[in-house]
Chain A
């Protein structure tokens, strides 16, 4: 039990207090179970509760701080209206039905663009990982296209498809496509050899190798890409709605700015931010469910 006086009172998990002991040594260190070991379930629940509280608490504290700064006149409320005024403007927008309709219009654009873009992105990666020849032919081209600033394509899309929903959705599709396609292809072409050989040693067909090995092995990486893409799709949406739309959250922000309605502008910004966070969290949650075997990350 006794480890000599020099370690008495040493820190770290499970270290009890030093106390005098029997025999030669003057003190000892006692290792005892911490609350984590005594009641692991309760400990985990408690820790999750703390994590959640912190995650929600920080934005609340920051909002309160903002309000206080505004009330004390430390910030110019023409440019940074206090949260209370933003809230009032938000309530007005909800009552008039404008916020709901803008939110609906924007959500539809994002969800449509995101689903088409990501599905085609993954599908293209699947085709390319299956064929070295197609990969050799197409890969350099895709990297070249990736570098073209997507927003610069908007005038071209407007020319081809006219003004309306189509060019907006297509622009989101293009962005989502590349953001998912590139990491998915990288993940699918770097499967550990051992995993492939196990399948080949039982003479699995190409489809079986894909179904049993390549796809599940790449899935965690695909979801990292999807998570980033979820946020990026909203970014593109807002940018497009700034310049080319008469509806949606981006238009709400831009229009409020041009009318110098800072309160309303912030309502738009806050709603976009919250929607982006929720969307990203939703994608994460789906990913965690589908890759339960993977270590948390």
Chain B
């Protein structure tokens, strides 16, 4: 795989060690513009990013900066307007990637079990018995076995998001993409789900791109936190997270955690300010 010439913006005091690993995703000068017929809005980039094999990378940024757009381009749901993203693939017989969406993505007309097996059925992966076994395994892992036959309508928001996560994990993809999967959960539930996700990930170590607006969540879960600028989103900082794995929530009490959180926030705050000024300017322009 080719290394991009454009380097990441080195964060102050960068002490990353994962440079030795082969990159799994390489984004080169990726841009995305949206054209609504009257005006062209530049939503993303040009952006360069590299995600290493087996690396957990979080993307944080002000709202509307194109985090989700980046994820959708990686997933192939939309195409970039210019530039390209290259994604390495090890095993053509395995599912390359699976995505977990924000709330409201679990199908209300399918039972929990049928939601979870949706991807497997669509891709017709393996024998029926094999699929049954996988579905049962992941229902068990995410604590959903007792609700297998329930409709999502009858579950809590946290349970529904577990279904969404199980639906992606059951495919055993080489690459996982998550778009603010815990955004709509309450604070306590969010922590529990973060613990679960950390444990699941440490078990399997799949390459992960995780979009979130929570710095705390990003640090707790990731190997690297990438900060995006206000629209059009570019990478403006890149932080390595030094904590050893497996992690427990105790790391939140460590001084380095708070220091890193502060450092990321300093960068992000400027961008959030810029985002607010931008939207003010837009409103003034419209008035």
Interface residues of A (CB under 8 A from B): 192, 194-195, 197-205, 208, 212-213, 216-217, 219, 291-295
Q: Are A202 and B151 in contact (CB under 8 A)?
A: no
In the A-B complex, the 6 residue pairs with the smallest Cβ-Cβ separation, listed nearest first, are A216-B109, A202-B119, A293-B151, A201-B99, A204-B122, A293-B109
- Minimum Cβ distance to chain A for residue B224 (Å): 23
The yes or no answer to B81 lying at the interface (CB within 8 A) is: no
Q: Which residues of B contact A217 (CB under 8 A)?
A: 107, 109
Q: Are A195 and B107 in contact (CB under 8 A)?
A: yes
Q: Which residues of A contact B110 (CB under 8 A)?
A: 212, 216, 293
19 sampled A-B residue pairs with Cβ under 8 A: A194-B101, A197-B77, A197-B105, A198-B105, A199-B122, A201-B99, A202-B98, A202-B118, A202-B123, A202-B171, A204-B122, A212-B107, A212-B118, A219-B109, A291-B109, A293-B109, A293-B111, A293-B153, A294-B108
The yes or no answer to B133 lying at the interface (CB within 8 A) is: no
Task: Return the chain B residue nearest A295 by Cβ.
Answer: B153
- Minimum Cβ distance to chain A for residue B100 (Å): 9
Q: A202–B107 Cα gap in the complex (Å)?
A: 14
Most buried by B among A194, A201, A217, A291: A201
Q: Is the interface of A mostly helix, strand, loop or mixed?
A: helix
The yes or no answer to B75 lying at the interface (CB within 8 A) is: yes
Q: Are A195 and B105 in contact (CB under 8 A)?
A: yes
Q: A294–B104 Cα gap in the complex (Å)?
A: 14
The yes or no answer to B172 lying at the interface (CB within 8 A) is: no
Q: A292–B95 Cα gap in the complex (Å)?
A: 32
Interface residues of B (CB under 8 A from A): 72, 75-77, 95, 97-99, 101-102, 104-105, 107-111, 118-119, 121-123, 151-153, 167, 171
Cross-chain contact of A293 among B77, B108, B122 (Cβ < 8 A): B108
Most buried by A among B105, B152, B171: B105
Q: Are A208 and B101 in contact (CB under 8 A)?
A: no
Q: Which residues of B contact A198 (CB under 8 A)?
A: 99, 101, 105, 107, 118, 167
- Minimum Cβ distance to chain A for residue B179 (Å): 10
Q: Which residues of A contact B75 (CB under 8 A)?
A: 201
- Minimum Cβ distance to chain B for residue A279 (Å): 26
Q: Are A203 and B123 in contact (CB under 8 A)?
A: yes
Q: Are B104 and A194 in contact (CB under 8 A)?
A: yes
Task: Return the chain A residue nearest B167 by Cβ.
Answer: A198
Q: Which residues of B contact A205 (CB under 8 A)?
A: 122
Q: Are B107 and A213 in contact (CB under 8 A)?
A: yes
- Minimum Cβ distance to chain B for residue A220 (Å): 9
Given contacts A213-B107, A293-B108, contact A201 B98 (CB under 8 A): yes
